[in-house]
Amino acid sequence: MGHGLTRGRLAADAGVNLETVRYYERVGLMPEPDRTSGGHRDYRPEHRQRLVFIRRARELGFSLDDIRALIALSEPGRRTCAEVEPIAAAHLFAVRAKIEDLRRLEMVLDDAVGRCAGGTAPSCPVIEVLGGR
Amino acid sequence: MGHGLTRGRLAADAGVNLETVRYYERVGLMPEPDRTSGGHRDYRPEHRQRLVFIRRARELGFSLDDIRALIALSEPGRRTCAEVEPIAAAHLFAVRAKIEDLRRLEMVLDDAVGRCAGGTAPSCPVIEVLGGR
DNA sequence: CCTTGTTCCTGTAGTGGCTACAGGTTGCAG
DNA sequence: CTGCAACCTGTAGCCACTACAGGAACAAGG
């Protein structure tokens, strides 16, 4: 009955899990599509574009709240850059902080694991780092 | 009535949220302590040591499942290193993978934000990266 | 037209690792 | 003995999904 895309097709096309589509609709990230006479969702190409947008933004680590804002700002007729930049810059900042955190923790782990590899010591360097015994 | 530590005291000493202590007990990471006559938890120093262990392991990014294993392996009388090393090494591997992911994404973001800063362009590089318009 | 099998529908519950709240009891200091 | 802080329990919420159960609709083959 529908002449557009089914939910399964849309999800596959955009590279997103089937259930995730319904979730995005529920939280207001995806607009409610038309329905077939039988009640099945009937998507159009703009839905696919929107879903790909969301997927890419998620891959870049933006939160769903950020993505809501980015979607609003990507509507035609907006002078976007000035409004988009702070969101992206804040996220970039957070990403860099996360990298720093992980690097510090990589060093501690690497050191402990390196000393661990030695052999059958009576106490383990990894456990020691954690304050055990 | 209790001559040990209260939950609040334990949590503060170990640098952990009050409610988190109860949560760790619920999921079997912290042993159930004795109770006062009135039903309040009454912790002893070994509880604090355990909680600090958990907190440090969390800071290093270990999952609660990993931590359960590490705790078991940190019991006295275990020849730990050979058994601890694979857990820590696997985690180190995951941390490095995460750093790689974040670095890739940092580059994409940095590039887009850099081009964004330019000014009042008609279309925004960040939005373009995401496939919008 | 009818059957078959896949996809879809809805609502709900679970994941990890907490955190927060409500409504009530206990502990302790003044 | 009063007052209030800290505790008690159970439960719900957070994020971003993912999975399931029980049933209806759709597309293709006979």
Tokens of B42: 């009454």
* pLDDT given for residue A117 in this prediction: 76
- Asked if the Cβ–Cβ distance from B56 to A129 is below 8 Å, we say yes
A20-30 residue pLDDT tens: 999 999 999 99
Chain B residue with the nearest C-alpha to that of A86:
B113
Task: Encode pLDDT of A64-122 as tens digits.
Answer: 999 999 999 998 777 678 889 999 999 999 999 999 999 999 999 999 999 887 666 66
Task: Determine if strand C comes within 7 Å of the CB of A27.
Answer: no
Hey, which residues does A41 pair with through a beta bridge?
A35
Contacts with A, B 30-89, CB within 8 Å: 49, 52-53, 56-57, 59-61, 70-71, 73-74, 76, 79-82, 84-85, 87-89
pLDDT (mean) for B3-31: 96
Structural domains in chain B? 1-78 (1.10.1660.10), 85-133 (no CATH)
User: Would you place residue B51 in the very low, low, confident or very high pLDDT band (cuts 50, 70, 90)?
Assistant: very high
Q: Which of chain A's residues have a Cβ under 8 Å away from the Cβ of B89?
A: 113
Considering all nucleic acid strands, name the nucleotide whose C1' atom is nearest to the C-alpha of residue A57. D16
Kind and range of the H or E run holding B35: strand B34-35
SS3 B109: helix
pLDDT, position A69? 95
- The verdict on A15 touching B (C-beta cutoff 8 Å) is no
Q: What is the 3-state secondary structure (H, E, C) of chain A?
A: CCCCECHHHHHHHHCCCHHHHHHHHHCCCCCCCEECCCCCEEECHHHHHHHHHHHHHHHCCCCHHHHHHHHHHCCCCCCCHHHHHHHHHHHHHHHHHHHHHHHHHHHHHHHHHHHHCCCCCCCCHHHHHCCCC
- Count other C-beta atoms under 10 Å from residue A87's C-beta: 19
Q: Can you tell me whether residue B9 is helix, strand or coil?
A: helix
B98 to A103: CB separation less than 8 angstroms, yes or no: no
Q: Which residue is nearest to nucleotide C28 (CA to C1')?
A: B1
